[in-house]
């Protein structure tokens, strides 16, 4: 038995006998004895909370292998202890709630309301984790996952987290799809809601009536997925394979939209293309093109989503394009393939995992996007806005929201399945343990031209959008009154120098600090869990892998509003009572944004030869060390992608957090939405500008901290002086 | 503390610091779903020996090797290294190193970092780890290239780096997974001799996977021939060549003519076998009276273009190829078409010539039991 | 290299410390605290909080959300309520919460100082919600665009059907916005259900977009994206005060109105503070704060000075809005699905 196992057994005891088992009553101020021993499960148990005492049994069981570490049946004891412990904790947590028994049967049986208990605290969390890891160590001792306790524990923890923070809340809300407004089971109502004409109608094909919202969503999603993948590829190719002068600038610019708070791109588009927008005015006054409202509807949403999601495709694809082995391209060329043919038959197919992942992300993002359709949708309705207003709109119909969510989920599932079918079982390894002496192929002219022609106008357009945003922050009222002013910044970010030091009196400071704090916590967690999951999915084989993978996508696919409501339903009552804390915001962000880490991690990992990990293992490095020293350095592009993405998303997400923010943890975006609602575009844009700057700084810091991946490859530019070793044996 | 031990290990000669360990498989089976990759395999590799796992692709030899490394876990049975049960130990916990077919050099590290990786992750200080790595690079003849990145080395050099990296921890067992498959023919011969020399001078236990029987015969102390997830035969190269256990081994190791004969007597250590009317005395190998299959090596058949004689089978040369050191013939005969190699003969026999066939009974002809 | 490692370690340490401090958040709610969900604009919410804290010493934790969002949240939290009081926001979700028993009855000593409409709503909700302000529905038009479109003066609901306004009128979708539902219910009450729906169908031809948010048409008018827009008059007034070229119209046929309301959440942890706030929020002093925060609704306390910019209710022909009938979820569902089927999907 390893020292790690022993350590977890000790921690299990610490959680049970020392730390406070329950979360603190939020209206009281805890004393020091509440923290140590006084609030522990042991003390509670002896003082009458009898249901906590059975947990002692698995804790005692775990002592057997600790006392006799050389016995061969230790794995059995560990597994028994872990399973029993987890089972008991879950059982008592869910049967005894804040108001007594949670099941009516128990109330009827005992004839009373039963005992009550608060939500779990540090102690319960620690003990439950300890049981989980003891279980996983036991399984590893049985030879699961090649006997690797790190791998089994990682799987155990990720699975447990996904169950708690994805399946549990999501299932609570999806269950309401089958319930009527009183909460009773009503499958017929589900069918009626599901088959509704406003969802599936196809009238737009035959008449000028509108089509169902499901078709709109699907159509938009496919358009955006194709568009973002193509643009992302163009940017990635230019950034990695050409000698384009302003590459760096292009890269920064392509990333700008991702760090823009929602609504702002939409607002900027209106200010350019709207009926009184800048461009429309020019066209009308100079060329007599009549002003129109074309931007409201599919075109507007499409453009805004392209702007917003291309960076994600770019971030996924750049790692993949960099990773393609030049030798393979050289091989193709020596087989007399022209560079265009090589690109088409070798380079492009090798990018398949990246393309498929970029496509999937674009599609799912478009489906879940809420801000842009809200501002620019016009009469073009999509599922995400429908769901939002089914929850908060005049109908107040949560069941309908759940039904629509199920449809949205089905689309995501379909995309996920298609992606798998397309990638198939082919091998896309291009980073192998053999040194690769090839030189990356310069892009074929056709491809280079196509890339330039798509990427550069797009980049210019992006610049235009951001000029508008920047101007908007410094004038009184964009579109009406162009008097320069810094009044918006003063309102939001005034700092007064008082006698007691600086006083942040601006109205935005609170939400600003809370947002930065939450984002800074969520980003590393998201990246860590995401990449760990990607590693498990690509490098380990275990049963249920496919459903595990799908589980990681689930919370991403469900619209934020639904996730927000489901988090309240799930986490507002014991056993896990965490609403109102910053913790729930962090967890919400982690599990909403984790899929990006998973996707980009999978895309990059599937290019890295598995024998590199194995070589490290046989050299005595455990999986954890292997991850740190071999896998992570090769994963740098994916790390940057997921860190940046999760930080940025935590700063810019709206819909999920609207229900989770509290007075202490108000988020920047809800503040901005409030400004937009109040028509104070200037203030909203000014705040957004500040956020953009913060995010830019953060991205630069992340780039700097993580660094570039060294593949020891020669680049086209250094090829003039070949450094190949003389072939002395 | 750490430094002390590593320093003392350095001061001792790097040669055979540790006792080489044995590897033992006891009824090991590996299944992937419905597919059985390795089926109830048992064998022992003696300490300090080089044993080859030989067989056609898909026979289970690489899976067997990976099970020794701990990269695959046995579904059933026991694996022992140096007498210790390691069946459920992870790769990192086994004192085993491996040289991969693709070399698996870490592309983001220099040659030195690659070789020093093992000791570094074991907690040896960077300085000592580098010293250990340099020592191994010197043994392997790559001193001076340690700053390069793997992509800047030739294929043979990369292969050596991979070997140095595997050697640096002085493992109880060293594994090679088709290490020569990416090298050209000349280099292959050199490197395999280097590996053999290294193994003998460092007294290492080595398990070596290959599908090339010539390579196997050249380097091995013993060979384990695998076929269809099972062990077909275990033995020294000579045993395998001269006493193949079955038709598969006879055919896979070297070339063999499979001919039918008949045992005429019922007992005794040697059997009288009639091949096409010629009586040959061979070790019995458990064969009872009646028809048997025989493996006849191409060089165990003598051709005589002089004349027909009693005790010889008559045949005709169909084709003759002159290869310098030897001449190869295809011969038509009553016992079937034969492939024959003759060494040291000056003038090849022209095709169409009738010849008399006889057998060199001392070697190269064996009864194949149970066939 | 070493430095980087230390940096990473330090960051992680700092991170976990913050995480710990996070978990125990909310402990600040000491005695005399109040958790408030606020349904109006940020400034007004803040002004109310600051004033109340200054006056009573009760520490208020305020979260601002739209009325629909507050309702969804209160409903989701019903098992373990987080908030004590829900102040502001259009009356419908307050009525709905009252109907579903999410809020509790309360009779404030200040009831006699209130306008009739506020008291009436309180009675209709079985004492569970009370009016704090009201705002009449109306429309506005961008005078510059109206001139270029030659629409002439617009004074009545009927004027919005002018062919010159084809594709020039904006209103929210009643499915998503309480404002638009108020329009639907008002038109039905003014003209009768059949005629009302005829009107909505005719109006449909002039609508360029059903927006999601009720106040969006006001903003679109200010930006020149639409000529005319239907919204609450005080939302349009906010734009006028911001110097947008808009004329606010109180329709000649009469119009409906909303009652911004206040309710105490059932299971409130700080019931006493909630009641204290409730009483205070009904005073003229508290209600004055709205106009100061640029919100021009009509306050419910009779003695509150009405802001000069506010559309005078005396100039507006208000109908006798039946909140009980049109606020009930049954009637709402019926009207909304009728509108969906008969109006929204019509070709233009």
Domain covering B2-242, topology: Rossmann fold (3.40.50)
**Other CB atoms within 10 Å distance of the CB of residue C105:** 14
Average pLDDT over residues B103-113: 87
Q: Do the domain assignments include residue A194?
A: no
| pLDDT of residue B156 exceeding 50 | yes
What's the pLDDT at A569?
78
The answer to whether the complex's ipTM is over 0.85 is: no
The whole-number pLDDT of residue C28 equals: 39
Domain that holds residue C248: 136-256+329-344
Predicted TM-score of the model (pTM): 0.76
Q: Which is higher by pLDDT, B314 or A263?
A: B314
| For range B54-81, the mean pLDDT | 90
CATH number for the domain harbouring residue C274? 3.40.190.10
Q: Convert the pLDDT of each residue in C104-150 to its tens digit.
A: 999 999 999 998 889 988 998 899 999 999 889 999 999 988 898 88
For the segment A682-701, what is each residue's pLDDT rounded down to a tens digit? 888 888 888 888 888 888 88
Give the Cα separation of B122 and B129 in Å (integer). Answer: 9
Look at residue A678 in the predicted model and tell me its pLDDT: 65
Q: What are the sequence ranges of the domains in chain B?
A: 2-242, 257-368
Helix axes A681-706, A445-474, angle to 10 degrees: 130
pLDDT at B345: 66
pLDDT value, residue C14: 45
Asked whether the predicted pLDDT for residue C281 surpasses 80, the reply is: yes
Residue in chain A nearest B75 by alpha carbon: A143
pLDDT on residue C11: 46
pLDDT tops 90 at residue B359: no
Give percent of chain B above pLDDT 70: 93
| CATH code: domain of residue A356 | 1.10.3720.10
Return the pLDDT at A277: 76
Q: Name the least confident of A474-478, C21-25, C155-159.
A: C21-25
For residues A54 and A95, state if they share a domain: yes
In a domain, A182, yes or no: no
Has residue C43 been placed in a domain? yes
Query: Which is higher by pLDDT, C28 or B281?
Result: B281
Round the average pLDDT of chain B to a whole number and report it: 84
Tell me, yes or no, whether C86 lies in a domain: yes
Give SS3 for A199: helix
- Whether residue A93 contacts residue A120, with contact meaning beta carbons closer than 8 Å, is answered with yes
Q: Is the pLDDT of residue A722 over 50?
A: no
Instruction: Tell me, yes or no, whether A404 and A505 share the same domain.
Output: no
Q: Which residue has the tokens 């196997």?
A: B216
Euclidean distance between CA atoms A686 and A471, whole angstroms: 9
Tell me the nearest-neighbour CA distance from C285 into chain A, angstroms. Answer: 23
Q: Which residues of B touch A142 (CB under 8 A)?
A: 88
Q: What's the mean pLDDT when you consider all of chain A?
A: 79
- Interface partners of chain B (CB pairs < 8 Å, 3 or more) are A
At C55-105, the pLDDT tens digits run 888 888 888 888 888 888 888 888 888 899 999 988 888 988 998 899 999
Q: In terms of CATH, what superfamily is B257-368?
A: Nucleic acid-binding proteins (2.40.50.140)
The residues, any chain, with a CB within 8 Å of residue C221's CB and separated by 6 or more, are: C140, C141, C142, C170, C227, C228, C229, C236, C239, C244, C246
- Residue A168 to residue A165: CA distance in whole angstroms: 6
Among the partner residues A27, A274, A661, nearest to C223 by beta-carbon distance: A274
Asked which of A121, A142, A163 is the last residue of a domain, the reply is A142
Size of interface A-C (CB pairs under 8 A): 190
Does residue A680 carry a pLDDT above 80? no
Question: Is a pLDDT exceeding 90 seen at residue B80?
Answer: yes
pLDDT value of position A439: 64
Angle between helices A582-605 and A509-539 (to 10 degrees): 40
pLDDT at C22: 45
Confidence of residue B15 (pLDDT cuts 50, 70, 90): very low
> Which residue in the set A270, A586, A678 is minimally distant from C42, CB to CB?
A678
C6 has a pLDDT exceeding 70: no
Residue B104 has pLDDT above 90, yes or no: no
Confidence category of residue C9, pLDDT binned at 50, 70, 90: very low
pLDDT value of position A207: 67
Indicate if C65 and C166 belong to the same structural domain.
no
Residue A483 and residue A475 in contact, taking contact as beta carbons nearer than 8 Å: yes
- Confidence bin at B279 (pLDDT 50/70/90): confident
pLDDT at B188 over 80: yes
Q: Can you give the pLDDT at residue B90?
A: 81
In a domain, A259, yes or no: yes
Q: Is the pLDDT of residue B82 over 80?
A: yes
- Measured CA distances, A436 to A289, A306, A649 (Å): 57, 36, 36
Count CA within 13 A, CB hemisphere, residue B146. Answer: 20
Domain count, chain A: 3
Do A420 and A494 belong to one domain? Answer: no
Closest chain C residue to the Cα of A102, Cα to Cα: C79
pLDDT for position C13: 44
CB-nearest to B169 from A431, A614, A620 is: A620
Question: Does the beta-carbon distance from C23 to A580 stay under 8 Å?
Answer: no
Q: For C283-322, what is each residue's pLDDT tens digit?
A: 999 999 988 888 888 889 988 888 887 777 777 888 888 8
C238 contacts A517? CB cut-off 8 A: no
Q: Which residue has the higher pLDDT, A84 or A332?
A: A84
Does residue B282 register a pLDDT over 90?
no
Lowest mean pLDDT among A79-93, A533-547, B64-78: A533-547
Give tens-digit pLDDT for A281-311.
Answer: 788 778 877 777 788 888 889 998 988 888 8
User: Do C108 and C236 fall into the same domain?
Assistant: no
Note down the domain range covering A116. Answer: 3-142
Does one domain contain both A246 and A342?
yes
Nearest to C92 among A29, A293, A394 (CB): A394
**Is some CB atom of chain C closer than 8 A to the CB atom of A521?**
yes
- Identify the residue with better confidence: B365 or A416: B365
Contact map slice: A 410-439 vs B, CB within 8 A: 431-437
Q: Which chain A residue lies closest to B151 (C-alpha atoms)?
A: A435
What is the per-residue pLDDT across A354-363, written as a single tens digit (0 to 9) for each? 888 888 888 8
Rounded to the nearest angstrom, the gap between the alpha carbon of residue A373 and the centroid of all alpha carbons in its chain is 20
Both tokens of residue C187?
Answer: 């038109």
pLDDT of residue A492: 81
pLDDT of residue B64: 93
> What pLDDT sits at residue A500?
66
Of the candidate ranges A3-7, B97-101, B324-328, C6-10, the one whose mean pLDDT is the lowest = C6-10
| Candidates A203, A204, A266, A394, partner chain C, best to mutate (most C CBs within 10 A) | A394
With 80 as the cut, is the pLDDT of residue A461 above it?
A: yes
Comparing CA positions, the residue from A169, A129, A175, A163 lying closest to residue A544 is A163
- Return the pLDDT at A181: 63
Hey, which residues 150-189 in chain A have their CB within 8 Å of chain B? Answer: none
Q: Indicate the number of domains in chain C.
A: 2
CA Rg, chain A, in Å?
28
Distance set, CA A617 to CA A245, A339, A629, B121 (Å)? 43, 39, 11, 10
Closest-CA distance of chain C to residue A479, Å: 7
Q: A27 pLDDT exceeds 70?
A: no
Tell me if domain B2-242 and domain B257-368 are identical in fold.
no
In terms of domains, do A527 and A635 share one? yes
For residue B9, pLDDT over 50 is answered with no
C251 pLDDT tier (thresholds 50, 70, 90): very high
Residue C8 pLDDT exceeds 70: no
C303 and C293 co-located in one domain:
yes
Quick check: B101 and A611 CB within 8 A? yes
Q: Render pLDDT for B245-267 as a digit per residue (tens, 0 to 9).
A: 888 888 888 888 888 888 888 77
- Percentage of chain C with pLDDT > 90? 33
Instruction: Please indicate, yes or no, whether residues C122 and C151 belong to a single structural domain of this protein.
Output: no
Residue B1 has pLDDT above 60, yes or no: no
pLDDT tens, B291-330? 888 888 888 888 887 666 666 788 888 988 888 888 889 9
Are the Cβ atoms of C19 and A26 closer than 8 angstroms?
Answer: no
Same domain, A28 and A131: yes
Q: Residues A490-537: pLDDT tens digits?
A: 888 887 777 766 777 777 888 888 889 889 999 999 988 888 888 888
Residue at A693 is within a domain: yes
Same domain, C80 and C146: no
Query: Do residue A359 and residue A504 come from a single domain?
Result: no
Is residue A481 a part of any domain in this protein? no
Q: How confident is the model at residue B44 (pLDDT cuts 50, 70, 90)?
A: very high
Query: Is pLDDT above 90 for A704?
Result: no
Measured between beta carbons, the chain A residues lying within 8 angstroms of C35 are 663
Q: What is the pLDDT of residue B14?
A: 42
Say if C273 falls within a structural domain: yes
Query: pLDDT tens-digit profile of C172-203?
Result: 888 878 888 999 999 999 999 999 999 999 99
pLDDT of res. A726: 27
Q: Helices (H) and strands (E) in chain B — how many of each? A: 9, 20
Chain A residues in contact with C331 (beta carbon < 8 A) = none
Q: Can you tell me the distance from the alpha carbon of A85 to that of A59, in angstroms, rounded to the nearest whole number?
A: 7
The per-residue pLDDT for A33 is 66
Of C26, C33, C181, the CB nearest to A394: C181
């Amino acid at each position: 038995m390893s020292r790690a196992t022993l350590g977890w057994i000790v921690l299990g005891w610490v959680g049970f006998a020392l730390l406070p088992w329950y979360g603190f009553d939020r209206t009281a101020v805890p004393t020091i004895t509440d923290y140590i021993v006084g609030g522990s499960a042991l003390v509670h148990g002896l003082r009458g909370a009898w249901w906590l005492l059975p947990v002692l049994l698995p804790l005692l069981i775990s002592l057997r292998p600790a006392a006799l570490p050389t016995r061969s049946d230790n794995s059995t004891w560990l597994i028994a202890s872990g399973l029993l412990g987890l089972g008991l904790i879950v059982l008592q947590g869910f049967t005894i709630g804040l108001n007594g028994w949670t099941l009516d049967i128990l109330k009827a049986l005992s004839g009373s309301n039963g005992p009550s208990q608060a939500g779990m605290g540090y102690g319960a969390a620690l003990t439950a984790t300890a049981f989980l890891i003891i279980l996983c160590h036991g399984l590893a001792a049985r030879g699961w996952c090649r006997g690797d306790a790190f791998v089994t524990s990682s799987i155990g923890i990720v699975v447990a987290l996904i169950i708690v923070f994805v399946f549990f809340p999501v299932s609570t809300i999806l269950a309401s799809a089958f319930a009527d407004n009183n909460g009773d089971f009503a499958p017929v109502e589900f069918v009626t809601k599901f088959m509704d004409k406003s969802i599936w109608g196809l009238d737009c094909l035959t008449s000028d009536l509108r089509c169902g919202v499901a078709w709109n969503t699907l159509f938009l999603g496919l358009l955006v997925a194709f568009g973002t993948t193509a643009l992302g590829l163009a940017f990635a190719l230019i950034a990695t394979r050409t000698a384009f002068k302003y590459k760096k600038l292009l890269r920064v610019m392509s990333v700008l939209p991702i760090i823009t708070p929602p609504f702002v791109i939409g607002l900027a588009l209106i200010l350019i293309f709207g009926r009184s927008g800048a461009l429309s005015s020019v066209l009308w006054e100079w060329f007599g093109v009549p002003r129109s409202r074309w931007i409201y509807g599919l075109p507007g949403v499409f453009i805004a989503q392209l702007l917003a999601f291309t960076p994600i495709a770019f971030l996924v694809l750049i790692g993949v394009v960099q990773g393609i082995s030049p030798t393979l391209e050289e091989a193709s060329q020596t087989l007399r393939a022209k560079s265009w043919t090589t690109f088409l038959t070798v380079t492009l197919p090798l990018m398949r995992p990246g393309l498929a992942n970029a496509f999937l992300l674009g599609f799912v993002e478009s489906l879940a996007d809420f801000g842009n359709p809200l501002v620019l949708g016009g009469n073009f309705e999509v599922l995400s806005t429908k769901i939002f207003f089914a929850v908060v709109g005049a109908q107040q119909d949560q069941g309908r929201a759940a039904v629509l969510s199920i449809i949205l989920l089905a689309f995501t599932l379909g995309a996920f399945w298609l992606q798998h079918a397309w990638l198939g079982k082919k091998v896309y390894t291009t980073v192998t343990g053999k040194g690769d002496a090839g030189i990356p192929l310069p892009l074929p002219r056709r491809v280079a031209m196509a890339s330039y022609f798509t990427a550069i106008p797009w980049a210019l357009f992006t610049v235009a959008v951001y000029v508008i945003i920047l101007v908007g922050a410094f004038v009184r009222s964009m579109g009406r009154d162009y008097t320069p002013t810094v009044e918006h910044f003063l309102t939001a970010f005034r700092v007064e120098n008082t006698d007691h030091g600086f006083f942040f009196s601006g109205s935005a400071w609170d939400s600003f600090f809370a947002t930065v704090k939450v984002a800074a916590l969520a980003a590393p967690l998201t990246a860590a869990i995401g990449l760990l999951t990607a590693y498990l999915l690509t490098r380990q084989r275990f049963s249920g892998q496919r459903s595990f993978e799908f589980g990681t996508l689930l919370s991403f696919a469900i619209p934020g509003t639904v996730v927000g409501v489901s988090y309240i339903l799930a986490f507002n009552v014991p056993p896990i009572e965490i609403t109102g804390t910053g913790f729930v915001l962090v967890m919400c962000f982690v599990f909403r944004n984790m899929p990006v880490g998973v996707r980009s991690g999978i895309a990059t990992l599937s290019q890295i030869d598995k024998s590199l990990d194995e070589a490290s293992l046989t050299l005595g490095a455990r999986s954890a060390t292997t991850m740190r020293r071999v896998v992570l350095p090769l994963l740098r592009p994916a790390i940057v992608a997921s860190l940046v993405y999760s930080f940025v998303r935590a700063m810019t997400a709206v819909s999920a957090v609207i229900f989770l923010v509290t007075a202490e943890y108000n988020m920047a975006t809800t503040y901005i939405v409030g400004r937009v609602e109040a028509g104070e575009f200037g203030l909203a844009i000014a705040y957004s500008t500040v956020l953009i700057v913060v995010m830019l700084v953060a991205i630069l810091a992340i780039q700097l901290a993580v660094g570039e991946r060294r593949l020891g490859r020669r680049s086209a530019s250094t090829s003039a002086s070949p450094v190949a070793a003389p072939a002395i044996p | 503390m750490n430094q002390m031990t590593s320093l003392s290990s350095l001061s001792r000669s790097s040669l055979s610091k540790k006792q080489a360990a044995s590897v033992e498989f006891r009824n090991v089976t590996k299944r992937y779903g419905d597919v059985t990759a390795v089926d109830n395999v048992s064998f022992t590799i003696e300490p300090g020996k080089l044993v080859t796992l030989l067989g056609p692709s898909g026979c289970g030899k690489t899976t067997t090797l990976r099970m020794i490394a701990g990269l695959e876990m046995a579904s059933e049975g026991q694996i022992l290294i140096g007498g210790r049960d390691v069946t459920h130990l992870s790769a990192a916990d086994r004192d085993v190193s491996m040289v991969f077919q693709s070399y698996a050099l870490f592309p983001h590290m220099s040659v030195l970092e690659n070789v020093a990786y093992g000791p570094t992750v074991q907690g040896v200080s960077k300085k000592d780890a580098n010293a250990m790595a340099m020592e191994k690079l010197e043994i392997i003849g790559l001193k001076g290239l340690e700053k390069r990145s793997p992509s800047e080395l030739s294929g043979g050099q990369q292969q050596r780096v991979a070997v140095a990296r595997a050697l640096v921890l002085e493992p109880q067992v060293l594994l090679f997974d088709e290490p020569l498959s990416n090298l050209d023919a000349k280099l292959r011969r050199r490197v395999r001799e280097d590996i053999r020399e290294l193994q003998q001078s460092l007294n290492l236990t080595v398990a070596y996977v290959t599908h090339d029987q010539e390579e196997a015969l050249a380097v091995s102390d013993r060979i384990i021939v695998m076929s269809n997830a099972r062990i077909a035969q275990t033995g020294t190269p000579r045993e395998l060549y001269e006493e193949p256990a079955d038709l598969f081994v006879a055919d896979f190791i070297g070339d063999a003519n499979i001919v039918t004969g008949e045992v005429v007597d019922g007992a005794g250590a040697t059997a009288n076998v009639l091949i096409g009317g010629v009586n040959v005395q061979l070790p019995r190998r458990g064969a009872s009276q009646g028809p048997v299959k025989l493996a006849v090596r191409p060089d165990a058949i003598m051709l005589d273009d002089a004349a027909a004689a009693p005790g010889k089978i008559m045949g005709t040369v169909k084709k003759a190829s002159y290869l310098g050191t030897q001449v190869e013939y295809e011969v038509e005969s009553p016992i079937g078409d034969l492939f024959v190699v003759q060494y040291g003969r000056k003038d090849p026999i022209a095709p169409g010539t009738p010849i008399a066939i006889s057998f060199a009974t001392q070697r190269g002809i064996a009864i194949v039991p149970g066939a | 290299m070493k430095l980087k490692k230390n940096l990473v370690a330090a960051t992680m340490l700092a991170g976990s410390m913050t995480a710990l401090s996070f978990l125990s958040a909310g402990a600040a709610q000491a005695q005399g605290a109040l958790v408030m969900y606020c349904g109006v604009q940020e400034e007004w919410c803040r002004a109310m909080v600051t004033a109340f804290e200054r006056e009573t010493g009760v520490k208020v934790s305020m979260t601002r959300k739209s009325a629909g969002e507050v309702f969804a949240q209160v409903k989701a939290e019903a098992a373990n309520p987080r908030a004590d009081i829900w102040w502001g926001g259009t009356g419908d979700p307050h009525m709905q919460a009252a109907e579903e028993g999410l809020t509790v009855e309360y009779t404030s000593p200040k009831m006699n100082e209130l306008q009739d409409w506020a008291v009436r709503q309180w009675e209709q909700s079985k004492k569970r919600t009370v009016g704090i302000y009201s705002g009449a529905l109306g429309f506005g038009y961008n005078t510059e665009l109206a001139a270029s479109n030659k629409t002439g003066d617009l004074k009545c609901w009927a004027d919005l059907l002018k062919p010159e306004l084809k594709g020039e009128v904006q209103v929210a979708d009643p499915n998503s916005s309480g404002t638009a539902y108020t329009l639907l219910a008002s038109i039905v009450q003014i003209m009768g259900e059949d005629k009302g729906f005829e009107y909505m169908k005719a109006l449909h031809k002039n609508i360029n977009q059903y927006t999601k948010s009720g106040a969006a048409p006001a903003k679109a008018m200010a930006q020149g994206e639409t000529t005319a827009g239907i919204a609450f008059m005080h939302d349009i007034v906010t734009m006028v005060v911001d110097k947008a070229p808009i004329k606010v119209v109180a329709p000649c046929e009469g119009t409906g109105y909303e009652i911004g309301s206040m309710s105490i959440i059932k299971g409130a942890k700080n019931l006493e503070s909630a009641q204290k706030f409730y009483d205070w929020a009904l005073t003229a002093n508290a209600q004055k704060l709205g106009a100061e925060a640029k919100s021009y609704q009509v306050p419910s306390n009779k003695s509150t000075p009405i802001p000069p910019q506010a559309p005078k209710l005396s100039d507006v022909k208000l109908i006798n809005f039946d909140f009980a009938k049109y606020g009930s979820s049954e009637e709402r569902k019926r009207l909304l699905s009728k509108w969906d089927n008969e109006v929204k999907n019509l070709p233009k």
